[in-house]
Amino acid sequence: MPRLAEPPRALTHATLALGARALARSDPDLAALLRRNGMPPMWARRPGFATLIHIVLEQQVSIAAARTLFLRLRQHLGGMSPQSVADFGIAGLQRFGLTRQKASYCHNLAIAVQDGQLDLGGISRASDAAGRDALLAMRGLGPWSVDIYYLMALRRPDVWPTGDLALAEALRHVKRFAKRPDDSRQRAISAGWAPWRSVAARLLWHHYLNTP
């Protein structure tokens, strides 16, 4: 498959459409999704601490459950800032429905941002490799969480979030596989969509949400 034209550093609605059309020209299966479902949403999130906490809450639970928990937590804290999360402590966060592990992750991130160990503004300006390394050094942030932050909050155009079950299921259906492709096979398939892998992910999520 020929390599597609280089994208911008961050997606806009215009470049999302540009990337979707480029993918449609190079992959008939993605072209069929675009014809059937139309342009996918941007699903953009505001970069920063609150979004990072929301992503931690989404680990291994449904999007709806994570959103309910995030909104409940934000309401009780009076906002979602490093100070408010750090002040409640791990035990305090657990009282709002977080597991001890996730409460620990969230508290650790709050402390790291407060003391300057984690500079989220600097990460948005740094090279992707340096920024990812800084996030991955934080306890509770694995490859999937960092990929989602880069894909949705920083809106990088060429991220494939390894380990996303919805994408694996969408790929199985779209590519007519007998079973969900493992991470290695997903990486091999998505490599052909560079440098618009984030757009391909949005097309597939859009398909997943529109398929009974």
Q: Confirm if 159 and 165 have CB atoms less than 8 A apart.
A: no
For the stretch 168-190, pLDDT in tens is 999 999 999 999 999 999 999 99
No. of helices (H) and no. of strands (E), the chain: 12, 0
Q: Is the pLDDT higher at 24 or at 212?
A: 24
Q: Confirm if 95 and 79 have CB atoms less than 8 A apart.
A: no
Measured CA to CA, the distance from residue 57 to residue 62 in angstroms comes to 9
Query: Which residues contact residue 62 at a Cβ distance below 8 angstroms, ignoring those fewer than 6 apart?
Result: none
Among the listed residues 35, 51, 70, the one whose alpha carbon sits nearest the alpha carbon of residue 154? 51
Question: Domains in the chain, start-ordered, CATH in brackets?
Answer: 13-42+159-209 (1.10.1670.40), 49-153 (1.10.340.30)
For the stretch 4-38, pLDDT in tens is 556 788 999 999 999 999 999 999 999 999 999 99
For the stretch 135-153, pLDDT in tens is 999 999 999 999 999 999 9
Residue 93 CB neighbours (<10 A): 25
Read off the DSSP letter of residue 100. Answer: H
